[in-house]
Amino acid sequence: MATDFSRTLSLLRQEKGVSQRKAAGELGISQALLSHYENGIREPGLAFVVKACAYYHVSADFLLGRTLNRDGSIIEAEDVYDSSGEKGSLRGSILATLQKNLVVNTTGVLFELLGKTGDREAITAAGDYLGDALYQLLRQLYRQGGGNEDLFAVAPSVFDGGLVAADMQLCALRYRQALAAQEGLPELTPESLTGQPGVGQSAAQVFHSVDERCKSYQH
């Protein structure tokens, strides 16, 4: 419970825009204890969970990471906001539809925010980075399906040697450098990333999934 709970508890506080000290006071606990809860050091009792649900206006299932819906209902593939305008385009796999919507929605959040910066290099580098990722995934799938790799200009041996993966890392470097060179970037808050209607929920889920995978590697 600690991993899902702590992550959600911290995100909800940031979304509410209150300090850890203020939230702790209004929840009737010490700041140190709230910090332990948010960092997964300690697990709360039922009384605190109930109080936190009322404070953040969410269900216990949402707070514990058992559902993406704040009211506690189970999320289905069709419930994830589809910003691509192609509802129902993936058939036969609810999981594929769910993952497609999460990625499309979160990519939309990224480029909407990048568009506000007006930084063409950062926008191009982000697109190139994602293009490299898609290239690798689709080429591996195409290969396993028996496809003729003459379709691609990069030779199979060079692809297997990691050239596209290396280009992906160079794109990430270009992206970081472009952003670092920017002056007067718009100030961003947790709400900027996860608060957009529909798509913000997808971004929050992507953040959560990546954090959980990466945290598991540290043990």
- pLDDT(91) > 50: no
pTM, 2 dp: 0.62
User: If one looks up domain 2-75 in CATH, what number appears?
Assistant: 1.10.260.40
Half-sphere exposure of 219 (CA within 13 A, CB side): 6
pLDDT for residue 89:
47
Among the listed ranges 52-61, 82-91, 161-170, which one has the minimum average pLDDT value?
A: 82-91
Domain positions in the chain = 2-75, 94-217
Which among 57, 66, 96 is positioned nearest to 1, based on CA atoms? Answer: 66
pLDDT digits (tens, 9 = 90+) for 131-144: 999 999 999 999 99
**What is the pLDDT confidence band of residue 84, given thresholds at 50, 70 and 90?**
low
CA dihedral 169, 173, 176, 178 (to 10 degrees): -130
Q: How many CB atoms lie within 10 A of CB 197?
A: 7
pLDDT digits (tens, 9 = 90+) for 146-203: 999 999 999 999 999 999 999 999 999 999 999 999 887 878 888 888 877 777 778 8
Which among 168, 185, 171, 192 is positioned nearest to 123, based on CA atoms? Answer: 171
**pLDDT average, residue stretch 33-60:** 90
